[in-house]
Amino acid sequence: MVLGRHARGLRLAAGKAGQLLFVAWAIASLLFLIFRLMPGNPLAAFIDPSFTAEQRVSLSRQFGLDRPLFEQYLLYLWNLAQFELGQSFFYRQPVADLVLGVFPNTLLLTLTALLLAYGVGLAGGALVAWRRGGWAEKLILPLVLILRAAPEFWLGMILLAIFSFSLGWLPAGGTAVAGATSVGFFERVLSIEFLRHLCLPAMTLALYLVGLPLLLMRSTMLEVLDEDFVTLARMQGFREWTVVVHHAARNALLPVVTAFALGIGYSIGGNVVIETVFSWPGLGRLLVRAVQSHDYPLAQGAFLLIALVMVTMNLVADLLYRWLDPRVAHVA
């Protein structure tokens, strides 16, 4: 029996890995095509009175754009198979270095905002469900809906105007004070200055994100609070607080955990607006520039990374679910 379980686990893992590879190939191919189907070409950026036709041809050759599309595609796949993302047309640097250079900034911003949003969202959702129909619900529900619907740049500008330009409490952009002496990565991100710079962008993103966990938590809590085991716990004479936190909330967490894992994937790619408003040197800004200037290798690399994070987080959510709720694994 033990052997059988192992074999099943292996088969499951192999199946998942195969799916992952297929998805990665499909995404990579789509990315390749999408950017080349866009009207315009990267050489537009070099139009200048001193730019000669000879230079144009040489640049086209250097970028590999003089070869047939199919050949470009095969070369691209071959390079990808060797984890080679190519060289950016404009930065003239390896795409991997550029993307991984700014990726930690995006990750830190996203994770901070997500933790904040889910922390507040979970507690808020539980509270609202527990005190259903109370003043808290009447106040909180419309508020998170407004925050969710408000454009991020607008929210960001309002926070900037208040906390940075009017009160002067927080800096308006970047990750550090202008000209700050550079230190190691961990020393830098753990410094007070970094946290001060992180405050506004993380708060904006968190305010935007808080709606989902809050509403999700509220609705599952409402369901769980009606379940028999909660009634039983109440009848056993546990205090209301213990019932809500230990019995109800723990069981209502499941869908929220899934949403969190997926949220990482979604937010990594969706930070463009916030990174622009707060001059945050992250992946989103790199990506926008790459798309605008038709920097195919860089745009492909950045999108591929985002896609891979999303696919991986999907897998993580899947596995987490199996672990948190063994019934899922049994059904499967």
Partner 1 sequence: MSGFWKTMTAAALLLLSALPAQAGDKIRELVIFSRPQAANPQEFQSIQLIAQEWRKLGLDIKIEVLPWEQMSTVVWDQRNDWDITGWQMVGRPERGDPDELTYNLFHSSTAAEGYNFVGYNNPAYDEIATAQRAETDPEKRRQLIFTAQEIIAGDQPIINLVHQRLAYAFNQTVWDKASVVDQAGIGIKNFWTFIGLRPLGAQHDIILNAADNVTAINPLYISGPVDSWITELIWDRLLRVGADGLPHPWAAESYAWVDPTTIDVVLRPDLKWHDGTPVTRDDVIFSFTAPQGDKVPMYKPFVGNIAGIAPVGDRGLRFTLKKPSAAFLTATLSKVNIIPEKVWAPEFAKLEGQEKTAESVQEAMPLGSGPYRFVRWTTNEEVVLEANPDHFAAPHAARWILRSVPNTEAALGMLKSGEINFLADYAGDPRVLQDLVAANPDLDMVLTTDLGFRFLGLNERRGPFDDPAFRRALSTAVDRRLIVGAAFNGFAVPANSVVSPVLAFWHNPAVDAMETGTDRAQQILAAAGYTLVDGKLHYPGDRAETVKP
Q: Exactly one of 40, 119, 134, 326 binds partner 1 (CB under 8 A); which one?
A: 40
Question: Please, are residues 129 and 227 in contact by the beta-carbon 8 Å criterion?
Answer: no
CA gap 176, 107 in Å, rounded:
17
Q: Tokens at residue 243, please?
A: 């019932």
Site membership for partner 1, residue 62 (CB under 8 A): yes
Site membership for partner 1, residue 305 (CB under 8 A): no
Q: How far is the CB of 53 from partner 1 (least distance, A)?
A: 4
CA gap 300, 281 in Å, rounded:
19
Site membership for partner 1, residue 301 (CB under 8 A): no
Closest CA to 263 of 149, 122, 115: 115
Binding mask 246-285 for partner 1 (x = CB under 8 A): ------------------------------xxxx-xx--x
Give the interface segment with partner 1, choosing from 48-56, 230-238, 248-256, 313-321 (CB under 8 A). Answer: 48-56
Name the DSSP class of 181: P
Q: How far is the CB of 297 from partner 1 (least distance, A)?
A: 12
Cβ proximity to partner 1: between 8 and 61 the closer is: 61
Binding mask 186-225 for partner 1 (x = CB under 8 A): ----------------------------------------
Q: How many CA atoms lie within 13 Å of 137's alpha carbon, on the beta-carbon side?
A: 15
CA gap 66, 61 in Å, rounded:
5
CA gap 126, 132 in Å, rounded:
10
Site membership for partner 1, residue 178 (CB under 8 A): yes
CA gap 286, 102 in Å, rounded:
8
What are the percentages of helix, strand and coil residues in the chain, rounded to 5? 75, 0, 20
User: How far from the centroid of its chain's Cα atoms is residue 108's Cα?
Assistant: 10
Q: How far is the CB of 211 from partner 1 (least distance, A)?
A: 24
CA gap 111, 312 in Å, rounded:
16
Closest CA to 153 of 277, 270, 271: 277
Give the interface segment with partner 1, choosing from 206-214, 245-253, 287-295, 301-309 (CB under 8 A). Answer: 287-295
* Alpha-carbon dihedral sign for residues 280, 284, 290, 292: negative
Strands (DSSP E) along the chain, which ranges? Answer: none
Q: Exactly one of 1, 4, 37, 48 binds partner 1 (CB under 8 A); which one?
A: 48
Q: Exactly one of 23, 29, 60, 90 binds partner 1 (CB under 8 A); which one?
A: 90
Residue count at the site for partner 1 (CB under 8 A)? 53
Site membership for partner 1, residue 165 (CB under 8 A): yes
Site membership for partner 1, residue 299 (CB under 8 A): no
Question: Please, are residues 282 and 230 in contact by the beta-carbon 8 Å criterion?
Answer: no
Q: How far is the CB of 140 from partner 1 (least distance, A)?
A: 30
Site membership for partner 1, residue 163 (CB under 8 A): no
Site membership for partner 1, residue 55 (CB under 8 A): yes
Chain contacts with partner 1 (rule: CB under 8 A): 38-41, 44, 47-53, 55-56, 58-59, 61-62, 87, 90-93, 98, 101-102, 157, 160-161, 164-165, 168, 171-176, 178-179, 182, 276-279, 281-282, 285-286, 289, 292-294
